[in-house]
Structure 1
Amino acid sequence: MNTTSPTREPVPEKREPVLNTVDRVTELCFGLFMALTFVGAIKAVTAGEDAGRKLFIAALGCNLAWGLADAVMFLVRTLADRGQRLTLALTVKREPDRAVAVQVLRDALPKALEPLVDDAELEQIRARLVAASTLPPRARLRRDDFIGAAGIFLLVVVSTFPVALPFIIVKDHITALIISRVLTLAMLFAAGFALGRYTGAGAMKAGCAMTLLGAALTSAIIALGG
């Protein structure tokens, strides 16, 4: 009888996504709303044979610019947050007084979590930081950060197409406008659905809420002359 235990295959480390569902949904909605503001100005560009193409180019150019700005700000926020965390870790590591170091950690906790964490748990964190052999001297951006920024840029830009592309494909501007708004609301529902499922708030409820938000925004644009 063979008593040797089977060799276990090493479990590959699960790689966290660069952008989580909240990041992807919010950036997609941001791009949709930006493009929607240009589509709302359809009456202002319906003169001339190239009205649809001009609107598409205007919406795409706007989202290209905002996508780039949003991607850069993502890198700035990432670097700032990482620098803040590194400063906290270095402060705790270099603080000779244990009580002061624990208080520094407690002050850094979100208010909602502060009552849930006792000093003994914070002391364990302090001890691990002190025992850490090396900490980076300063915060740096990593490869994944630039991938995330590129993802944000693409999400904002890609969201232009379902909103503005009907004005190139469909000759009648009124029909194109209806198709554009239906596609926008459908995408907003899908985005809200994904967000609700991710956060546990209820997929259908969040999808309907996001759709209503889009409908309200569209109505506001129409009321303002769009």
Structure 2
Amino acid sequence: MHYPEVYIGKITPYAGHSPSAIEKRAVNGELMLTSLGFEGDEQAETRHHGGPDRALCHYPREHYEYWRHQFPEQADQFIAPLFGENISTTGLTEHDAYIGDIYRWGKTLIQITQPRSPCYKLNFHCDIDDFARTMQNNGRCGWLYRVIVAGNIHTKQPLELVSRNSDVSVAEAISIAFNAPFDEEQYRRLLAAAGLSASWSKNMQMRLLTKSIEDFERRLVG
């Protein structure tokens, strides 16, 4: 079992940039979890954030120690929820979490659908050039959930793994999608992972059809 810290946020303006809800705050007590995430939590660009397959974002808290070592002059900023996550835990990383995993959380069930795809907003939010690419390259991306059963959760309730439905870890999915050469066999393996999000299924299918990997630059640099 894993005991999460929980965060939600509102859309706010960013000087020189489009509005974002990446700025989250810690919440405690009972919360309503709907098919689109926590009541009171918002996403600014719904084409790329939020929706049923991306209702919640989970980021491992232990990764922040790595980032503090990588960027010592900005170490003070590397505390949850810097990356806009809704859930932060210790003891559960991309190597232990698998595409399709289903967790019981209070009265709800949530399922891992895909790794987080780092985007350019991390660059200015962290004030580090090309930070999104750095996160993508080293695989410390976190992951996203869909809500299978909506309901109330209490922030003191644990996440309990109740069903493992694929053999593709989130770490493997990141490697296959972002950091490995073109490989049809691996794309088919990822496509076969139960619970994979519609957007990632589309991307893998398009790679098979076009025999090429999509361009990441717009997502990474804006």
> How does the TM-score come out when normalised to structure 2?
0.23
Q: Which has the higher contact order (CA 8 A, sep 6+)?
A: 1
Structure with greater Cα Rg:
1
> How does the TM-score come out when normalised to structure 1?
0.23
Give the helix-richer structure, 1 or 2: 1
Give the strand-richer structure, 1 or 2: 2
